[in-house]
Structure 1
Amino acid sequence: MKNKLSTLVLATLVLAAGGAQAQDKTLRLLTWGGYVPKDVVEQFTKETGFKVEVTTSNNEEMISKLRATAGAGFDLAQPSQDRIAGPQTEFRIYKPLDLSKIKADLFIPSMLDATKKNTTVGGKVYGLPHIWGTDGLVVNTKTSKATDYADLCAAENAGKVSMRLKRPTLIAMAFASGKDPFALYGDAKAYSALMDDMGKKLTECKKNVKFYWDGKDQLLAGIRSGELTTAMMWDTGGWELNKANPDVKFVAPKSGALGWVDTFAIPAKGKNDAAAYAWINFNMRPEIAAKVASSAGNFTASKGADQMMDPVLKKQFAESFPEAALKNIKWYPAVPAGIEDIEGRVLDRVKAAQ
């Protein structure tokens, strides 16, 4: 009986070890739709031996999933950079990155520095940049001379502009007014006063607004038809419109386009850090990053990837983002508790104003 029991225990240990070894060859990835093209996964597996299990999600779901498991269940996640510091401080769902395992020279330096700064908690870095995009202006250059967000409210564009009644619009107007709203995140009273001022500007600007947009179809149709001369919207939407009408361009505003970055972050109880770091470095290689960017419809933080992308998109990017405009992007920092409540109250007042 003793021998049989010993044999059973040994067999169980062997099976467990085999299971652990198999698990070590799998990367469990929590990410956004479009960020994991099939051919990229196949090449990664061929080069490294790691298989990839993909779960698509969004910021809110990522936080919820990782919070529910205290950071277990996944080896790598891709939250936006402004959604890391807060959840990490409150829920401890990520582990600090070992920067010695990252090939830093693969990243655009300014984006790497900004993301490291915005995802630092307690002196440790929790996020690295991957896919990024911006909000700025889409302008029909034949009918509008807009160069900054304040031009949405210019008399020449009366009745012919569109924007969202969302927090990016308040923030954009603040930058166009010469203020830095992100610098006031730590002072709720000062931030509230600034948002009140921006709310007044947007209320006065309502006479210029043809419609506030939520979905992209109405917005794109309005610009295509000439119903709109200027709109605050995202870069890839502007470039899409430009293909059909060269007069329509995405313009990085003088006060700075608003930039978002989806990152690489390692969950607190991830079991396969080796696969996670391998995936990060693999994805940041320019030739791989270009494939992912084409699939996602945005650009990446990979240095040199833009040179390998679709020639038309490459030209559009270069026109919209010369070096000065790229350096002037205002990257969203972590959002402190209470900030969105302040903005929501202001936006409600703007919406209700006659």
Structure 2
Amino acid sequence: AQPSQDRISSVVEQYGIYQPIDYTRLNTAQIDPSLLEAVKKNTLVDGKSYAVPHVYGTEGLVVNKAKAPDIKDFKDLLDPKYAGRVSYRLKRPTLIGMGFSLGYDPFALYSDPAAYQKFLDEMEKVLIAGKPSVKTYWDNGDQLLQSLRSEEVWAASAWEQAGWKLHSENPNIDYLAPTSGALAWVDTFEMPAKSENLDAAYAYIDFMLRAENAAFFTNRETYGTASKDAVNYLDPEIKANFTRGLPPEVLANINWYPTVPAGIEEMEGKTLDKIKAAR
């Protein structure tokens, strides 16, 4: 099974559908240590972890550096000097990314609904005050790409894949990991509770995370993997993207999505509705 890390611990606690990972049966030396530790932490249940990282993707900034050279973090999207030249989604990553950029740790507040609501109230004020900066709240990838291509928008919060696509067309535009850390998901390898041939399962995970094999995947799908040395086997253009945008020090600074407690997304949705409705 290959669920995202933020959707594992809750179903383990409720239904016991996965079994713990025995990391001693894996070649963990070939796995990026920051990804491995993040997944161990975010899938921890009763002292045991339940996943191995595989594929990841990030949300950060896509910036036209010729037009908006000073944008380095999510909060910079609200700088008045870029009024009408910024775009982002009215989705939960905007609340969370802006929070990290302004010095909060939103994930640490998940366990305290009252504190998280107070945080959301602050983000509501910040994002309503920042509405003059926004050209559009983008809804789909094509809309985002076209607005940046046309230079109608100079900077946006978006995925690395969008930034790298645009960089191949215009070298002034590129993906940038925010200084407060990009947001990221990671899909994992999991062992179903009733799995029997564990030797084969662990061998398969090792095989997929072997640098040459992981690079084969990334060269075709363009998404990064947890394989530490796969970058050495990537096609030149793809290698340049990862070397430039997601080197090890950036991965070590990523804010990985943890398990989302019940009720959090509903709270976020109400805040986003208020921001959208504000004049």
TM-score range, shorter chain: over 0.9
2:79 corresponds to 1:154: yes
> What corresponds to 1:287 in structure 2?
212
Encode CA deviations 1:105-128: one digit per residue, 9 max, x unaligned. Answer: 110111111111111111111011
Q: Does the CA contact (< 8 Å) of 2:222 and 2:238 recur in 1? A: no
**CA positional deviation for 1:294:** 2.4
TM superposition score normalised by structure 1 = 0.76
2:44 corresponds to 1:120: yes
**SS of the residue aligned with 1:333?**
coil
> What corresponds to 1:333 in structure 2?
258
> What corresponds to 2:155 in structure 1?
230
**CA positional deviation for 1:340:** 0.9
> What corresponds to 2:189 in structure 1?
264
2:243 corresponds to 1:314: no
TM superposition score normalised by structure 2 = 0.96
CA distance in 1, matches of 2:219, 2:137: 29
> What corresponds to 1:35 in structure 2?
none
Encode CA deviations 1:27-50: one digit per residue, 9 max, x unaligned. Answer: xxxxxxxxxxxxxxxxxxxxxxxx
Aligned length: 278
> What corresponds to 2:7 in structure 1?
83
| Pairing 1:235-250 to 2, within 5 Å after superposition | 235-250=160-175
CA distance in 2, matches of 1:111, 1:319: 19
Gaps of 5+ in 2: none
**CA positional deviation for 1:322:** 4.2
Encode CA deviations 1:176-226: one digit per residue, 9 max, x unaligned. Answer: 111111111111100110011111111122222111122100100111111
Match of 1:174 among 99, 105, 110: 99
> What corresponds to 1:344 in structure 2?
269
> What corresponds to 2:127 in structure 1?
202
Encode CA deviations 1:53-105: one digit per residue, 9 max, x unaligned. Answer: xxxxxxxxxxxxxxxxxxxxxxxx11111111112112211111122211111
CA distance in 2, matches of 1:344, 1:330: 21
2:68 corresponds to 1:144: yes
Q: Does the CA contact (< 8 Å) of 1:131 and 1:293 recur in 2? A: no
CA distance in 2, matches of 1:303, 1:322: 10
Gaps of 5+ in 1: 1-76
Tell me the percent identity: 50
> What corresponds to 1:52 in structure 2?
none
Structure scoring higher RCO (CA < 8 A, sep ≥ 6) equals 2
CA RMSD of aligned residues (A): 1.2
